[in-house]
Structure 1
Amino acid sequence: MSDSDSDDYRVEEPVLAADDPMRAFIPTSFGKTTKEANIAAQIAQTRRQVEKPTPQKQKEPASDSDDSDSDDSESGDEDEAERFPVTHEMILKTHERAITSIALDPAGSRMLSGSLDGNVNFHDFASMTPTTLRAFKSVDPWETKKSASSDSHPIQHIEFSRHSGSVFLCVTAHPQAKIMSRDGGVVTEFIKGDMYLRDMHNTKGHVGEITTGTWHPLDQNLCVTAGSDSTLRIWDINNKRSQKDVIVFKSKAPGSAGRTRMTAVAWGVSSQGNSPVLVSAALDGSLVMYGGNGPFTRPAAEIKDAHRPDTWTGGIDISADGRMVVTRGGDGTIKLWDTRKFKQPLVKIDHPSTSDRYPMTNIKYSPDSRFIITGSASGHLHILNPANLRPEHVTPITPGIPLIAVDWHPKLNQILTAPPLHPAALEVMSRAPKKRHVDDDPSFTMDQSNLGISGDAIIAPGALSGQKRGGVSASGKSRDPYRPQVQQITPFMRSQPDEKHISENIPLSRMLHEDPREALLKYAEVAKKDPVFTGAWRTTQPVTQYAELSDEEAEGPEKKKVKR
């Protein structure tokens, strides 16, 4: 064949019929292909489908005017739903028991959820995709001090600091609150008070269970906790050995002996803007208000019968301008109060309470204080008008299951409810699903042979599913050859205090590592100025006299003493 004939040369391609089964095995394209995610379809899947009650049919045929009215009402309902961030939802099921508290950092990138199971789960919106709707970490605040027979303490309240969001306040059913980092580490653990002291002013911490707490609106180092010992304690997170201030509330209820439980607390800016205002509710039905910067010797205002006595008022919040306070009581009412005339409620409505099962049920203002949100015993989310407390919008979240915790984030403009957890749906669904890399599969990255594993491979404990051996032997050792041996905790070791326990709980234990001579000389000057043991004969103590040398003896050589 010559070169001139090569131009007319063509390769014949196989011709397949349209219904030929061989087409399933022939690729339509070559090279790397990418599959783009349909963001619009993902967001459409999160749109809430709320069932509306079907209208009853009338006997008489409806006229054209009735049709127009019905169309206007339907469009009005849609417009009303668009006013609030309730059109889309995304559900996270990360706890074994009911969720009692939720919190978001100021940036809106990290979310925390606390539950009755005693765990705090961490969720990161930045790394969350439609295929990874789960918590990336779960922390038990009392895991290190929990014995084998004791249970976890239920989470009462968690809240990020209002400024940086680097730490959060963790309140459990325990006399000690904790300040934890955003990654789950314990930064500060406040001290427990002496339960044998009657005067609560002299205790350095709570002597009863802490019910709730919150942060100072302006100072990022201050927080307040409310306890069942009838006190509010203000803490500096840099000092864990004692509270900064203690507020002892003396109940006037008959038979209370001056004590009651503090059930809720809120700390916000005042209406004048010069100092914060601190408002707290008690189990005896009282509502007290203090100046947020002290002194806290007596309340600025007190309402004795704000709610029915012996009912748990778990929800309380202050508006953004500090003028209004809203409370949700265990007596089945929601009341609105004015801080400038703190005597009678401005508005009062009936709202079924869930404090008998979940006393930590809250109520919150929206970020701009234009609305108030709270849950209900029937599982509905209620968005209320802050002027008259009438519902602006009611939507079902968990029908038949009480709605415990609600929150409205100012930056995301998303509402979170629990249970279940409804995080920022549009934020997460706008991302493509996460793809697994080939390196994530250890079977593709390790050199395996018929004899086992090559010497160059690095094996992590439990990395190979085929080599796992479950259970333990009769001697207590694990049957898995790659699992490290766990140290056995004997009853004798369990009863011995460790070095950390001694340094934190035994006074003056650090003096064991000090030099005795330096420790005594440190107090020599103090003992000279303020003698404690020799103060009784300080005025009658003889003065020590020393022989003084004359000037001649000081200048010249020593002379013999003259005999007399």
Structure 2
Amino acid sequence: METKDDDGSKKKARSFDFMEMFKEARQTAMDRNQGKYEEDINTIEDDIGPSPQTAPKSSKEDPGSSKSCQEVPNEEGRDDEDMIGPPLPPGMTKDSKTSKEEDLIGPPLPPGTSRSKDEDDDEDDEDDEPEETLDKKIPSSHEISLDHGFKAVSALALDPSGARLVTGGHDFIVKFWDFAGMDQSLQSFRQIKPCESHHLKQLQYSATGEMILIVAANSRAKVVDRDGFEKLECAKGDPYIVDMASTKGHNAMLNGGSWNPKMKEEFMTCSNDGTVRLWDVNTEGKKHKNCIKPKSQQGRKLVPTACAYSNDGRWVAAACQDGSIQIWDHNKNFVNVAMLNRGCHMNGTDTSCLCFSYDGQCLASRGGDDTLKLWDVRNFKKPLKVRENLISYYSVTDCIFSPNDRMVLTGTSIKKQGDGKLLFLDRESLDTVSEIAVADTSVVRCLWHPKLNQIVIGCGDGKARLFYDPDKSHRGAMLCMVKQPRKSKQVLALASQQIITPYALPMFKETKSTSTKKFEEKVRKDPVKSKRPDLPMTGPGEGGRLGVKGATLAQYVAQSLVKRKPDKYENDPRAAILRHAKEAAENPFWIDPAYKKTQPEKLFQEEEKEEEEDPDEPVWKKQKV
């Protein structure tokens, strides 16, 4: 490129050789690093003596020359120019056969020193330590009790971060517990009654922890935020429509629900109307997203009693009243089932819970026939293991997997006497690894949070019990147990003292406190402010108030009846009327003056004298009266 100066002469632009500039900068860095390493080596030689590897090379080669650095080969036979970073100092080459210090953890030892034999023996002992058994991994050394109410706790939920716990029960109340905000008094910070007089069946946080799904014994599920304020209420279906897919929502009691672990806006509910419905939060509950209708072997409607998503969100599972478990593929339409087993549990019983393992290969089912079964999703024909005689009297009894996927947890119920138990079963054999006895109550719900490593159970006596271990657990209940209860602040009332200085100047004299005597006398005279009662009346009365005769109408009537004079014509109404006959005849007022000119003379029938009867006259001639 050429440019012109002011005088018109041509001038060429300056050109730069970038490759040559990079080469010079790299050579300068290598020379600087080589000089630094040579100084370090000389310092070490002065302390412990010259090294046999570095002495010959330092005498023959110039440490400042770049040629000597480039001729030192590395481990792979390449020149140092191909290496990334500064070159190794002389005598510090990597030799995997002779050096054992490279496999050790920690900073390298100085030249001439070696690791002691005792340290190597300690590392071997650590590798030979046996693995911790399953029962030692259960965090159950400490226990706290959260008082929810007087009825069974039938729903539990912990948010993904483990900061808040939500409990719901048969007393229709949902309580919110914040571990960071509680102290040793263990009081909830909020309680709501979301579904009126319907007991709670399911509580679950969404995958992000922003929303809570509330499933009660009614037909409309609700979604609230973290603080309990309602965000969504599902629509109710028309009970007069036969086809359940044509209705907007459920029209019978709900049995369970669950959030989709991968899609934060989707959740699922199952109901006694024989459907499993998928909902979307963004549609504001106006209509379901998908409707799944389980069918019996005869093609009839089935009632699903429990439902669950797999951890990857692919499978949608539902347990029905005929004892079957039906699984659909979420990536396909929900017309045909992907996996089906009709004989999972006893026909006519309510399966209370379905739970997928963390690896997604195993499904646990807690049946109403007092059994717990494990199923392989890849081979869904026969159960892997079966555990019997696990008594359950609640329709929401849980079964869950431990965070390490090696144990299965479930609870047992009691009828009148005994202790409810939380059982820890080995996943491979369903043998009892450990158990926690809860005195005089049933274990309904159980939850093992993987982040906190703490276990929460809901009991039939209205309490939620939380188990933890200070050595194995993190945060959660350990935050509130170290806080002392807050003391109520006592307000001290100090009477203000007034100093009276009679001869002080007005500008320095304190104002006297105004006397309340005159003010009270003035208020007393005001009938409105003093609320003076009505004064007694001396006259007959006015405005609905009665005077002397009595304060109430009943008293007035009673006194009037007592003081009334007796009437002699009370029992003879004809005489009472005829007593006015003389006055009416002398002074006609109503009828006679109107007909005075046209009224004819009055003719009244005269009374005939009765003739004496002839005794000789025959009877048939006598006049009949």
TM normalised by structure 2 equals 0.54
Deviation at 1:232, TM superposition (A): 0.5
**Residue type matched to 1:366 in 2?**
S
Pair 436,160 (structure 1): closer, same or farther in 2 beyond 3 Å: same
Q: Does residue 421 in structure 1 map to residue 421 in structure 2?
A: no
Q: 2:198 aligns with which of 153, 160, 167?
A: 153
Q: How does 1:269-418 map to 2 (within 5 A)?
A: 269=311, 276-355=314-393, 358-377=394-413, 378-396=419-437, 398-418=438-458
- Matches of 2:265 and 2:305 in 1, distance apart? 23
Deviation at 1:445, TM superposition (A): 10
Q: Does residue 83 in structure 1 map to residue 137 in structure 2?
A: yes
Pair 205,80 (structure 1): closer, same or farther in 2 beyond 3 Å: closer
Deviation at 1:80, TM superposition (A): 6.4
Offset from partner CA, 1:331-366 (integer Å, 9 cap, x none):
1111110111111111111032314xx111111111
Q: Which runs of 4+ in 1 moved over 6 A?
A: none
Deviation at 1:96, TM superposition (A): 2.1
Quick check: 1:81–1:87 contact (8 Å CA) kept in 2? Answer: no
Identity %: 32
2:295 is aligned to 250
1:260 is aligned to 302
Deviation at 1:430, TM superposition (A): 4.7
Q: How does 1:488-499 map to 2 (within 5 A)?
A: none
**Residue type matched to 2:334 in 1?**
F
- Matches of 1:319 and 1:332 in 2, distance apart? 21
**Residue type matched to 1:386 in 2?**
R
Deviation at 1:446, TM superposition (A): 12
Deviates more, 1:225-234 or 1:291-300: 291-300
1:23 is aligned to none
Quick check: 1:329–1:353 contact (8 Å CA) kept in 2? Answer: no
1:436 is aligned to 487
Deviates more, 1:133-142 or 1:175-184: 133-142
Ranges in structure 2 where 5+ consecutive residues have no aligned partner: 1-129, 414-418, 469-476, 497-512, 517-625
- Matches of 2:165 and 2:467 in 1, distance apart? 10
Q: Does residue 133 in structure 1 map to residue 186 in structure 2?
A: yes
**Residue type matched to 2:401 in 1?**
Y
Quick check: 1:267–1:292 contact (8 Å CA) kept in 2? Answer: no
Pair 217,79 (structure 1): closer, same or farther in 2 beyond 3 Å: closer
Deviation at 1:443, TM superposition (A): 6.6
1:96 is aligned to 150
Pair 199,102 (structure 1): closer, same or farther in 2 beyond 3 Å: same
- Matches of 1:446 and 1:179 in 2, distance apart? 54
- Matches of 1:315 and 1:302 in 2, distance apart? 17
- Matches of 2:493 and 2:168 in 1, distance apart? 39
**Residue type matched to 2:159 in 1?**
D
Number of residue pairs the alignment of both structures matches: 353
**Residue type matched to 1:133 in 2?**
L
- Matches of 2:214 and 2:297 in 1, distance apart? 31
Quick check: 2:180–2:480 contact (8 Å CA) kept in 1? Answer: no
Offset from partner CA, 1:22-41 (integer Å, 9 cap, x none):
xxxxxxxxxxxxxxxxxxxx
Deviation at 1:252, TM superposition (A): 2.6
| Secondary structure of 1:123 counterpart | strand
- Matches of 2:160 and 2:291 in 1, distance apart? 28
Q: Does residue 113 in structure 1 map to residue 167 in structure 2?
A: yes
| Secondary structure of 1:407 counterpart | strand
- Matches of 2:340 and 2:234 in 1, distance apart? 29
| Secondary structure of 1:427 counterpart | helix
Q: How does 1:453-468 map to 2 (within 5 A)?
A: none
Across the aligned residues of Structure 1 and Structure 2, the Cα RMSD in angstroms comes to 2.6
| Secondary structure of 1:238 counterpart | helix
| Secondary structure of 2:245 counterpart | helix
| Secondary structure of 1:299 counterpart | coil
Quick check: 2:135–2:433 contact (8 Å CA) kept in 1? Answer: no
Pair 261,247 (structure 1): closer, same or farther in 2 beyond 3 Å: same
Q: How does 1:159-170 map to 2 (within 5 A)?
A: 159-163=204-208, 165-170=209-214
Quick check: 2:458–2:464 contact (8 Å CA) kept in 1? Answer: yes
Quick check: 2:153–2:168 contact (8 Å CA) kept in 1? Answer: yes
| Secondary structure of 1:201 counterpart | helix
| Secondary structure of 2:478 counterpart | helix
**Residue type matched to 1:104 in 2?**
L
Pair 231,432 (structure 1): closer, same or farther in 2 beyond 3 Å: same
2:270 is aligned to 226
- Matches of 1:81 and 1:400 in 2, distance apart? 24
Offset from partner CA, 1:294-350 (integer Å, 9 cap, x none):
310111011111100111110210011211001010111111101111111111110
Larger Cα Rg: Structure 1 or Structure 2? 2
**Residue type matched to 1:141 in 2?**
P
Deviation at 1:401, TM superposition (A): 1.6
- Matches of 1:174 and 1:446 in 2, distance apart? 59
Ranges in structure 1 where 5+ consecutive residues have no aligned partner: 1-75, 144-151, 453-564
**Residue type matched to 1:418 in 2?**
G
Quick check: 1:316–1:325 contact (8 Å CA) kept in 2? Answer: yes
Deviation at 1:410, TM superposition (A): 1.0
- Matches of 1:429 and 1:196 in 2, distance apart? 52
Deviation at 1:437, TM superposition (A): 5.9
Pair 83,269 (structure 1): closer, same or farther in 2 beyond 3 Å: closer
